Amino acid sequence: MSVIQLAGIERVFHLGDSVVHALTHLDVGIESGEYVAIMGPSGSGKSTLLNLLGLLDRPDAGSYRLEGRDVTTLSPDEQAAVRSRRIGFVFQSFHLVPRLTAAENIGLPMMLAGIPAAERAQRVAQALKDFGLDQRADHRPDQLSGGQRQRVAIARATIMQPAVLLADEPTGNLDRATGDDVIHLLEALNERGMTLIIVTHDPKIGTRARRQLMMEDGELKSDSARPSMAVTAT
Residue 220 DSSP SS3? strand
Of 13, 119, 129, 132, the one binding ligand ATP (CB under 6 A) is 13
Q: Does 18 bind ligand ATP (CB under 6 A)?
A: no
Restricted to residues 31-50, the positions that interact with Mg ion (CB under 5 A) are: 47
Q: Does 33 bind ligand ATP (CB under 6 A)?
A: no
Stretch that binds another protein, among 18-26, 50-58, 144-152, 201-209 (CB under 8 A): 50-58
Restricted to residues 78-107, the positions that interact with ligand ATP (CB under 6 A) are: none
Of 3, 4, 22, 52, the one binding ligand ATP (CB under 6 A) is 22
Contact 159, 123 (CB under 8 A): yes
Restricted to residues 152-181, the positions that interact with another protein (CB under 8 A) are: 156, 160
Give the span between the Cα atoms of 105 and 116, in whole angstroms: 16
64, 63, 3: which is closest to 33 by C-alpha? 3
Q: CB of residue 201 vs Mg ion: minimum separation in angstroms?
A: 9
Pairing type for strands 219-223 and 2-15 reads unpaired
Nearest CB to ligand ATP, comparing residues 49 and 194: 49
Of 10, 31, 57, 180, the one binding another protein (CB under 8 A) is 57
Q: CB of residue 39 vs ligand ATP: minimum separation in angstroms?
A: 9
Pairing type for strands 61-66 and 69-70 reads antiparallel
Contact 36, 213 (CB under 8 A): yes
Q: Is the dihedral of CA 76, 198, 114, 99 positive or negative?
A: negative
Of 29, 33, 43, 172, the one binding ligand ATP (CB under 6 A) is 43
Give the span between the Cα atoms of 123 and 19, in whole angstroms: 46
Of 27, 56, 60, 119, the one binding another protein (CB under 8 A) is 56
Q: Taking CB within 5 to 8 Å according to partner kind, which of ligand ATP, Mg ion, another protein, none is near residue 44?
A: ligand ATP
Contact 22, 218 (CB under 8 A): yes
Q: Does 91 bind another protein (CB under 8 A)?
A: yes
Helix, strand and coil in the chain, % to nearest 5: 40, 30, 35
Stretch that binds another protein, among 36-44, 110-118, 125-133, 191-199 (CB under 8 A): 110-118
Q: Taking CB within 5 to 8 Å according to partner kind, which of Mg ion, ligand ATP, another protein, none is near residue 12?
A: none
N-term to C-term CA, the chain: 29
Residue 187 CB partners (closer than 8 Å, separation 6+): 35, 196, 208
Residues in contact with Mg ion by the rule CB under 5 A: 47
